[in-house]
Amino acid sequence: MAIDFTFPPEVEEVRLRSRRFFEDVVLPAEAEIEIDRTDPESRRTIVKTILALREKAKEHGLWLPQMPNELGGLGLGPTAIAAISAESARTSFGAFAINCQAPDEGNMHTMLHFATEEQREKYLKPLCEGRMRSCFAMTEPEVAGSDPTLIQTRAVRDGDDWVINGHKWFISGARGANIAILIACTDPDADPPQARNTAFIVETPAEGWEIVRDVQTMAGGHNHCEIRISDLRVPHANILGGVGQGHRLGQVRLGPARLAHCMRWIGQIETALCMMIDRATKRYAHGSLLSEKQGIQWKISESLMELYAAKLMVLHAAYLIENGREFRTEVSMCKHHVANTLWKTVDRAVQVHGALGYSRDTPLANMLLSARWSRFADGADEVHMMRIATNAIAAYEESGSLGAVLGDLPV
């Protein structure tokens, strides 16, 4: 029987070790500090705590699970990473502690694929060692982020440099980042339009790279910055992946990066569902516990069914990536399903908690606000649905079946 839903012993061992680390080391460290990202003093304490946790993660053999051994990582594949990421999502700092946090994790993957030897030495290695931080700058306020062929930030060649002008926003982690992977248009007339853009590695801070503000989101300021780019000079040697390769690079980056988000979200879905059940089994109204009422049981069963599907989809999409198989449609379906399950499950958990769910006495408020952006960042629901349908139609027209967009599952 070839289908086996257990991990090999060595992966299971790391998964359980990571669970113990997140439960026994990370959660108690988080409980000791007051998290208020608007307060500079609190931010300094957060950074100090994460740095201390990073040393402990190294002692526990959990540093950098997603990168190959030669870069100091554990060399684990996407399925094993899915398990560890889901464990880390039960904490706030877990992913940072093991150096597997967005956007650095996606940037590391991108550089692993596209960086030259020199770029690896200069940028990828320090990122892997936790000596640098990075951001990824693509979205612009003036044009739809869903369609990168519209990018207006313009790079023009000038001798050995490129001169870049433009405007970006929602650039996560920009404040404090040592490098940015910046996507700019190098040829507005390129045909196909997907060849218009190029990725540049920008050392920050830099003259011409101005952080205008930390955009205040529904959930407050979380270092998602607006950047004004004025006559920024970047050496030609800092092009990542070749001129006109920005779109391809985005695609390579976004597949696994989207899945990495899903891996963390399944951990959050499970946390919300456990909270929902815990509350329902303790709250009494109208002659019985909430957990004995059908209206509440349906919320629990719907959430559990959706979580089950989410876990299978994440693992299967990770399996496709790990085995070098086509994964784009499956990752799109997975991203759409998991983001919407997160949103619905956290919303149901808030409902079952009543006023307590609406308060800031539980993590649900933050979880709900994060769940909202999950449905449009890294590809809006509608864009994923458009791609899923287009790919399904093409597969059907080509072969008269849907096997190619269902991971060639043998059922």
Ligand X SMILES: Cc1cc2nc3c(=O)[nH]c(=O)nc-3n(C[C@H](O)[C@H](O)[C@H](O)COP(=O)(O)OP(=O)(O)OC[C@H]3O[C@@H](n4cnc5c(N)ncnc54)[C@H](O)[C@@H]3O)c2cc1C
Distance from C-alpha of 361 to C-alpha of 235, rounded to nearest angstrom:
50
Shortest CB 385 distance to ligand X, Å: 8
CA 336 to chain centre: 13
Residue 258 or 279: which CB sits closer to ligand X? Answer: 258
Residue type (1 letter), 381: D
Contacts (Cβ under 8 Å, ≥6 apart) of 336: 381, 384, 385, 388
Smallest distance, Å, CB 369 to ligand X?
9
As measured in angstroms, the least distance from the Cβ of 179 to ligand X is 13
Of the residues 16, 47, 52, 144, which one makes contact with ligand X according to CB under 6 A: 144
Token pair 């693509």: residue: 138
76 vs 254 by CB, closer to ligand X: 254
Per rule CB under 6 A, count of chain residues that contact ligand X: 20
Site string for ligand X, 360-379 (x = CB under 6 A): -------------x--xx--
Candidate ranges 33-41, 168-176, 241-249, 351-359; the one touching ligand X (CB under 6 A): 168-176
Q: Is 82 left (phi over 0), alpha (psi -120 to 50) or beta?
A: alpha
**Within a 13 Å sphere around the CA of 153, how many CA atoms are in the beta-carbon half?**
31
CB of residue 390 vs ligand X: minimum separation in angstroms?
11
Query: How far is 220 from 215, CA to CA, in rounded Å?
Result: 8
What SS3 state is found at 132?
Answer: coil
Residue in the structure block whose two tokens are 């526990």: 60
| Residue of closest CB approach to ligand X | 145
* In the complex, minimum distance from the CB of residue 231 to ligand X, in angstroms, rounded to a whole number: 21
Residue 146 in the binding site for ligand X (CB under 6 A): yes
Nearer to ligand X, 137 or 164 (CB): 137
Residue 31: Cβ within 10 Å count? 7
CB of 376 to ligand X, least distance (A): 4
Binding stretches for ligand X (CB under 6 A): 103, 135-139, 144-146, 170-172, 224, 373, 376-377, 380, 382-383, 386
